[in-house]
Amino acid sequence: MNSPRTTLYRDKHNAKLLGVCSGIADYTGINNFWVRLGFIVSLFTPLSAITFPGYFIAGFLLNKKPAHLYSEPAEQKYWQGVRQNPKRTAREIRAKMKDVDRRLAEVETFYVSSNPRLNAEIERLR
C-alpha cells in the first residue's frame, strides 16, 4: 500500500494544461521547465505517437495532488528523495540516528563523569 506522499499526482497548482508535467516534476524532483521541455521535444520525435495520447490519458487517470500533502519545502524535498532512492534515504536516516546516539552517549558520559553523586550511585548498583 502506497503512502500518499509516494504517489504520482497531477499538480494543478503549478499546471499549464492538465498538470501532468508538473506532477511528474514534483514526483521526481526535476524542475518543471525540464520536464515540460522534454515533453515538447518528444512531440517532435517518433515517440509522439505515445507521448501525446499518454499525456491526456494520464491527465484524466491521475488524481489531483492534495493541497495539504507537504507542510514545508524541506518535507517535499525529503519525500522526493524517498521516491528517487529509498535505500539511500534509509542509509541517511540510519547515519543520522547513529550520530544522535553518539552525541547522546557523549552527553551521558559528560554528565555522569561530572556528577560524583550519580557516579557513586551507579557504582553502588553494580
Q: What is the pLDDT of residue 124?
A: 86
pLDDT in tens, 17-45: 888 888 888 888 788 899 899 988 988 98
The one-letter amino acid code at 119 reads: N
Give CA–CA dist 47/41, Å, rounded: 10
- pTM comes to 0.58
Provide the residue ranges of all domains of the chain, joining segments of one domain with +: 1-84, 85-126
Per-residue pLDDT tens over the stretch 80-112 = 777 777 787 788 888 889 999 989 888 887 776
Whether the per-residue pLDDT at 126 is higher than 90: the answer is no
Q: What does the pLDDT look like over 68-77, one tens digit per residue?
A: 777 777 777 7
CA distance 113 to 80: 44
Taking all residues of the chain, what is their mean pLDDT, rounded to a whole number? 81
